[in-house]
Structure 1
Amino acid sequence: MNIGDPAKPYFLDVDTGSDLTWLQCDAPCQSCSKVPHPLYRPVQNKLVPCADSLCTALHSGLGRNNKCSSPKQCDYRIKYTDSASSLGVLIADNFSLPLSKSSNIRPSLTFGCGYDQQVGKNGAKPAPTDGLLGLGRGSVSLLSQLKQKGITKNVLGHCLSTNGGGFLFFGDGIVPTSGVTWVPMARSTSGNYYSPGSGTLYFDRRSLGLKPMEVVFDSGSTYTYFTAEAYHAVVSALKGGLSRSFKQVSDPELLLCWKGQKAFKSVFDVKKDFKSLSLSFATGKNAVMEIPPENYLVVTKSGNVCLGILDAAAAKLSFSIIGDITMQDQMVIYDNEKAQLGWMRGPCSRSAKSAMSSSP
C-alpha cells in the first residue's frame, strides 16, 4: 500500500485475525526487522492524541497494560498468538487507495507506528513485509475506518491463488450475486475473530464421528489448525488411505511429510492419491466448505509432500483456524454489513478487474 505524503510503498501482511494496521517505524526504532522498504518516518503533528476515540477503542480491546504515557500520544502494545509483538504509537496519515473506477482517493487513516517489534527469534530474520494490515472486526481496523468515513461498505474479500498472487478488495462492488456459500457470522468465544460457527469435519464425504469444532477464518495464519481430536483423526485417516509408494520422512518445513518414488514438483502430482476433506456448518443452508488435497497439502523444496494442517492444541489454541493454505483459489468474503461470511471456489489468478467484469 502507498502511505504518507508523498506516498511511499510498503508491503503489508493481510491479517483478518487482528484489528490494528502498523508499519515498522523509525521513531527512532528500538527493534525493527530488516524490511523491504525504508522504515516509515513519523511526523510529530501526525500523532493521534490519547483522548481520540480510536485510541480508547484500541486500549479497551488490548487490555489493561495499554495506557498513554502522555496526553499527546496513544501508546499501544499488541501481542499475537504466535508470541510476536509490536510496541508503538498511533499515527494518522494518508493512504493512497485505487477505486474500482480507476481514480484514487487519499483518506487520512489511523495506524500504528511500531518502533519495537519482537518477531521470531529476536527479530533477527529479515521480514518479507514492512508491517501488518489489520482487517478484523474492531473499530480501529482499516475496514471499519473506511466505513466510518463513508468511503466503502464494511465488506472485504480476498482471493489467494495457488500460483501465488491474487487480489484483495474493500466494499461490496465485486461480491458475486450468485454461487457464494453464505453462513451467518458467529460470535467467536476467543477474541474478535471472524467465525462461521461450529463445523463438522468429513473425510472423503464420510463422517469422522467427531463433535463439531469452533472454526475461525484468519488470513494471518499460513496454515490451517484443527483441534487435537480432529487433527489426530485426519492424520490417521490420511495414513490409512495412502498407498505403499508413500514413505513417511522428516522434512524441516512441516511435521508430517511423505516422499514418493521420485520428487514431487507440485501438489497436483499427488492430488489423486489423497482424499478431500470438508467442513459442514449447521448455521447455513447446506453450507459446506470443500477442502481438496491442494488446500491442505504442501510440496516442499526437497520434493516431499507435507500436511499443511497443524494441531491447534500444540499451538495452545482452543479452536480451529482456516488459514491461507485452505483459502487458496476461493474468494472469501467478510460481510460485516449483513453479518455473514461467504466463500466461492474459483481461480484467483485472474485480476480483480476481470472478476468485476464477470460479475454484474
Structure 2
Amino acid sequence: MAWPRSIVAFTYYSLILFVLLVGFGSRSCYGFGSQFGFGIHHRFSDPVTGLLGVEGLPEKGSLGYYVAMAHRDHIIRGRHLASSNDQSLPLTFASGNDTLLLPSLGYLYYANVSVGTPSLWFLVALDTGSDLLWLPCDCKKDGCITDLQSSSGKVNLNIYSPNSSSTSGIVSCKSPLCGQTQCPSASSNCAYKVAYLSSNTSSTGILVEDVLHLITDDTQLKEVDATITFGCGQSQTGTFLEGGAPNGLFGLGMEDVSVPSTLARNGLASDSFSMCFGPDGLGRIAFGNNGSSDQKETPFNVGQSHPTYNISITHITVGKNSSELGFSAIFDSGTSFTSLADPAYTFISESFDSQIQEKRHASDSQLPFEYCYTLSSTQNVYSIPQVNLTMKGGAVYFLTNPTEGLSIQGENVYCLALLKSEDINIIGQNFMAGYQIVFDRKRLVLGWKDSNCYDDENSNTLAVSPSHSPAGSPAAVINPEAKNNGNSTSLPVPSPSNHSPKLKFFTYTLTMIFVSFFAIF
C-alpha cells in the first residue's frame, strides 16, 4: 500500500548540466558526529573533464550524455565491495550521495544505484511514500521501457535479471517479507503487485534478493555490500510505460521490506536517513544519518495500520493571517507538489490571495493551481507573504518557495503551488526545498535544518540562486505511488522557478511532452 502523490513530467533543460556532480578535492565536516560532506565540482568543470574526458560522448546536457557519464562512472569506480558491520558512519550509494531533480522525468529526486554482481546501474526515483524498491526485470512483452529517445538518439536502459547476477536469489512465498497470505506450494516464488492511484498504473513481478552496493558517507569511502529484497518488476502498466519511473522506484518507507529497514535490521546503519532538497535541484541522501543537535523536530504519528512519515501541524501563518487549524500530513518525497484538504487548503489559499498585489489570472481549467497571478510585461520580481507551519511540539517550518512561475500565451504568471486534496494531506518535495530532512525512524521524529545541500555546516541560506537558466514545458500530473484512494486527474503543470530575487519563467504548453528524455522518471 502507498499514498497519493503528484509527479510531474517536464521537458529536459539545462539543469542536467549542473546536477551531475562528483566528489573531488577538499572535504569539510557537516551534519552530526563523524559524517562528512564532499567538495563538489560541475561535471563539465576542468577538474572533472580532465579526468574523465568527453571526447566521443553525446552532446553535453542531453539525456544520452548522462547515461554515458553514469556508465563511465561505473567503469572508473568499479570496486570489489565487501560487507561491513560498521554502524558508526552513514552510508550512501556507491556512485555517491548526490541526488538530482529531473524535471524531464517527473520532477522528482533521483539517485544512481548499482545492484548485483556484476553490478548494473539504475537511476531510480526516491520515494518516502512507498516501501518497495522495484527495478525493471525479466520483462514480459510490453511490460517495461527498455529505451528512450533523446536528442542524442536512443538511450538504452538497464534491465535486471536474477539469472545474470551471481549474488541473486529468489524470495520464497514463505519469507516473512512476502505479503502473500496463501502460498500455492512450499517452494513457490513470492509474487507481488503494487497498484498506484494513477489510472491503471502498477508494478507486478516477484521478489528477489541481491546486493545493493553502498559506501560510507565520509572521507574513507569504505565499500559495503547490503543484501536487500526488492521487486523484479516484470510488468509495469500505466504511467510507468509513459515515461514515469522507467528505470525503477526506490521506496524509503517504514515497512520491513524497505531498504532503510533492511539496513537497520542487519546492523549496517542506524535506523534513520536524511534527504537534502537543494533549491537548485541538487540534493543528497545518507542512510544512518541521525541529523544534528541543532535541527528542529516534530514527532511522527504512530499506531497506523500502514505506518508513514506522518506528522501533525497545529498552526498556520500566512503573512498577517494566522489560524489554529490542526491536521496531520505525510512528508512524501514522491509527490511533486504539496496537496492539502480543507479547511487548511482554503485558509492558506485565501490568506495568500488577500495579500498579493498582482491581478489574479483568469481561471484556466488546464492549470492545476487555483491561485495564479499575472505580472506586467516589464515585471520580473514579485513579493509574497511568508507562509509557515507550526508543528506539534512548537517547532516552526518555514516554506522557502511556495510559488511556481510560468508563461502562458506571452503572459508571465506565478501560482501558489498548492493543490487541493479531497482527503489526505501531503507535504510534497516542493515544500521541502532548502532543507535537510531527517527521517529518524528509531526516535520516531522528523527533523529539519536549513541547508543548500553543499558544504554548508554554518550556512543559514534557505535559497540560493540556481546556476541554470530554466526552460521547460509541463506535462501531466500523475500519482504513481498511491493505492485505493480514488481517481487522479491528469493536468498540465509548470515546472518550478525561483521567485526571489528574479523570477525565471518556463515555456507553458498544454500537451504532454516526453521529447528530451534521458534515462529515468
Q: TM-score of the superposition, structure 1-length normalised? A: 0.82
- C-alpha distance in 2 between matches for 1:207 and 1:190: 33
* 1:321 CA drift (Å): 0.8
What's the counterpart of residue 427 of structure 2? 322
CA contact (8 A) 1:201 1:278 kept: yes
Q: Secondary structure at the match of 1:108?
A: strand
What's the counterpart of residue 86 of structure 1? 203
What's the counterpart of residue 439 of structure 2? 334
CA contact (8 A) 2:436 2:449 kept: yes
Q: Secondary structure at the match of 1:31?
A: coil
Runs of 4+ in 1 over 4 A off after TM superposition: 66-70, 355-358
* 1:69 CA drift (Å): 5.1
What's the counterpart of residue 116 of structure 1? 235
Equivalent of 1:167 in 284, 304, 309: 284
Code of the aligned partner of 1:276: Q
Say yes or no: does 1:308 pair with 2:417.
Answer: yes
CA contact (8 A) 1:196 1:215 kept: yes
CA contact (8 A) 1:199 1:215 kept: no
Code of the aligned partner of 2:350: S
Say yes or no: does 1:18 pair with 2:123.
Answer: no
- C-alpha distance in 2 between matches for 1:34 and 1:339: 39
Q: TM-score of the superposition, structure 2-length normalised? A: 0.58
Q: Secondary structure at the match of 1:233?
A: helix
Say yes or no: does 1:276 pair with 2:399.
Answer: no
Equivalent of 1:103 in 206, 215, 222: 222
Equivalent of 1:6 in 93, 118, 121: 118
Code of the aligned partner of 1:2: S
Equivalent of 1:39 in 144, 150, 159: 159
What's the counterpart of residue 62 of structure 1? none
* 1:327 CA drift (Å): 0.5
* 1:35 CA drift (Å): 5.6
Q: Pairwise mapping of residues 196-215 of structure 1 onto structure 2 (< 5 A)?
A: 196-204=311-319, 206-208=321-323, 211-215=325-329
Q: 1:159 to 1:193 in 2, by over 3 A?
A: same
What's the counterpart of residue 53 of structure 1? 176
- C-alpha distance in 2 between matches for 1:18 and 1:199: 25
* 1:334 CA drift (Å): 0.6
In the TM superposition, what whole-angstrom CA distance separates every residue of 1:230-256 from its partner, at most 9, and x where no partner exists? Answer: 112222222222214553463845333
Code of the aligned partner of 1:108: T
Q: 1:188 to 1:231 in 2, by over 3 A?
A: farther
Q: Secondary structure at the match of 2:353?
A: helix
What number of residue pairs does the alignment pair up? 328
Relative contact order (alpha carbons < 8 A, sep ≥ 6): 1 or 2 greater?
A: 2
Give unpaired runs (5+ residues) of structure 2.
Answer: 1-112, 149-156, 460-521
Q: 1:12 to 1:69 in 2, by over 3 A?
A: farther
- C-alpha distance in 1 between matches for 2:182 and 2:134: 18
Q: 1:198 to 1:21 in 2, by over 3 A?
A: same
- Relative to total residues, which structure has the larger helix share, 1 or 2? 1
Equivalent of 1:262 in 342, 367, 377: 377
What's the counterpart of residue 396 of structure 2? 288
Q: How large is the RMSD of aligned CA atoms in angstroms?
A: 2.6
